[in-house]
Each structure stands twice: as C-alpha cells, then as structure tokens.
Amino acid sequence: MSNYEFTNNWFQGTTKPVWDAIFPQLNPRKLLEVGSFEGAATTYIVETVGALANVELHAIDTWIGGIEHMEQGLDMSLVEKRFLYNIELARNSIDNRLDLHIHKGTSDFFLSKLFAMGLGEYFDFIYVDGSHQAPDVLTDAVLSPTFDNHPMKAQVMTILVSGFGHYS
C-alpha cells in the first residue's frame, strides 16, 4: 500500500481487522460497496480477493461528500481523483481479472437499479459505508440486495454497515 494516496486511516483502524478475519471464511467473489471515498476498502477488496481469483466489484458513490466532509471543507473532486488513482494501482497489482463497475450517483438510485437488473440475490458481500446520516444508512441497508445464494448466510452477517448514526 505504499504508493496509495489516502488522507486518513479509517479503514486500516476499524474495518480491515474484521475483514481479515471474515474474508477467508466468506470467500467472496461478487462484492458491492456503498460509499467508496478514496478507495481504501475498494483497494483491499481488489488486492485480497483479486490475489486469489477473479473478482467482480460494484462501487457506488456520489463523490459529493456528506455533512462531515462539508464541515471539513474537503474538495471532493480530489477525493474522487484519489479513488481512481488508487483503484488503478490496485488493478495493476493483481494477475486475476477485475470486473469493476463504478456507479457514480446516489445509493438509493443505484441499489434500486441493481435490483431492477435482476441482481437482487447476486452479491456475496455488501459493505455499506456511504452517508453516515441514520436515515440514509437505514435506506442503504434496506435497499441492499439479499444473499440467499450464499452458503454461509446463517453463520455470518452479510451486510456490514459502518458509521451508523454519526450525524443523525
């Protein structure tokens, strides 16, 4: 990760240890990420899953930012550029095929669209870390596709929600 351009270590300190423990058990190949920011979680998925097999990844983000980003005065166009840069680095670090779908827009629109496309029971893993407004997080969780096709559905929670209620 030495060449990635991340301005924070949120993923490293909170989510990565959990994913390190559960990814070997889940063995996901078709993943959906709601909220990509600079791509820390996305690059982890590409490097970790992509090192073992082909991976399909759908990333949804507006790259407009939320309340916390407005309060910090972040230039979200630079955040999006870092995401694209980081993803390209990750893509070039693996030998397996990465089928990456970047959906730039609101999660309610693209989650509904994925469902309408017949992907309601398609994904092996969903990570919800978009808006940290409680109503938005709830909407993302409700609209996220189900996992009836996953063999471990009874043993693990297959939708991980990060940051619920930060700015409710």
Q: What pLDDT is stored for residue 148 in this prediction?
A: 52
Q: What pLDDT is stored for residue 158 in this prediction?
A: 41
Q: How far apart are CA 121 and CA 104, in angstroms?
A: 22
Q: What pLDDT is stored for residue 168 in this prediction?
A: 31
Q: How far apart are CA 143 and CA 165, in angstroms?
A: 17
pLDDT, averaged per 10 consecutive residues of the chain (168 residues), comes to 85 90 92 94 96 96 82 87 98 97 95 90 86 79 65 42 42
Domain spans in the chain, listed from the N-terminal domain onward: 28-97+107-161
Q: How far apart are CA 18 and CA 24, in angstroms?
A: 11
Q: What pLDDT is stored for residue 28 in this prediction?
A: 92
Gap between the terminal Cα atoms of the chain: 33
Helix (H) / strand (E) containing 168: none
pLDDT per residue as tens digits for the range 114-150: 989 988 888 888 888 887 777 887 788 778 776 555 5
